[in-house]
Amino acid sequence: MRFFITLSFIFFAAPIFSQKENLAVTNEAAANEAIFLAESYFREDSFELAFNGRDSRSPSIPNFLGFKDIIEQYKDTKAANLAYRYAGVCLLNMGAYTEAIGYLSNFQTKDPFLQITNDGLIGDAYAELNDFQTALKYYTQAINGEKDEMLTPYFLYKIGLLMEIHFKDLKKAKKYYQKISNNYPTFAERQNIEADLIRITGDY
């Protein structure tokens, strides 16, 4: 599952800025401008281009910084922090799971929704690397965060699947599936949950 996020920054001009403050504001503005183009390619699922950017010698082809270079060129800006998350999702889609974990782990947020999804994305990367124990750790962090009607059951389901398929613990799998069935009636995968419960309990 992909999560697309946008971020806008508002700059408040004060009558007097120190040279350092002026530089910080200018740097944030430049970083925002740079990330806008990379985001546009990300939204088109051009993950490799969004991550690496483009450095063409042809005057007819516009160049732009990818998320990787935005992080390096605009360190300590909000856009650079956001670029860590974008870069991680790009790398997940490119199959570079270890590198994705590194970028996603550097993303910092106080937003509960973004934190839940970020933990889940790291869990996905570990699952792709067949490190199911660590994947379970991050999925558990995701469900232990602030409850969300869409995200919490989604990661409960992933834990249930891990328990059933990889840990062969049907009792625990049933517990997670049942929790979704009881508490999240609008979950999009609810029909699958009911089928999973029937399958592992043998209650036809």
Tokens found for residue 125: 């990367």
- 109-204 has which fold? 1.25.40
Which of the 8 DSSP states describes residue 17?
-
Residue 69 has pLDDT above 60, yes or no: yes
Neighbours of 105 (CB within 10 A): 13
Strand, coil or helix: 58: coil
Q: Which two tokens stand for residue 127?
A: 């699952």
Which two tokens mark 153? 């059951």
Q: Is the pLDDT of residue 23 over 80?
A: no
Query: Stretch 72-95: mean pLDDT, rounded?
Result: 96
**pLDDT band at residue 24 using 50, 70 and 90 as cut-offs:** low
Domain with CATH 1.25.40.10 in the chain: 109-204
8 A C-beta contact, residue 143 and residue 162: no
- Strand positions, DSSP E, 46-132: 53-54, 64-65
pLDDT band at 15 (very low <50, low <70, confident <90, very high): very low
- Average the pLDDT over 113-138 and give the result: 96
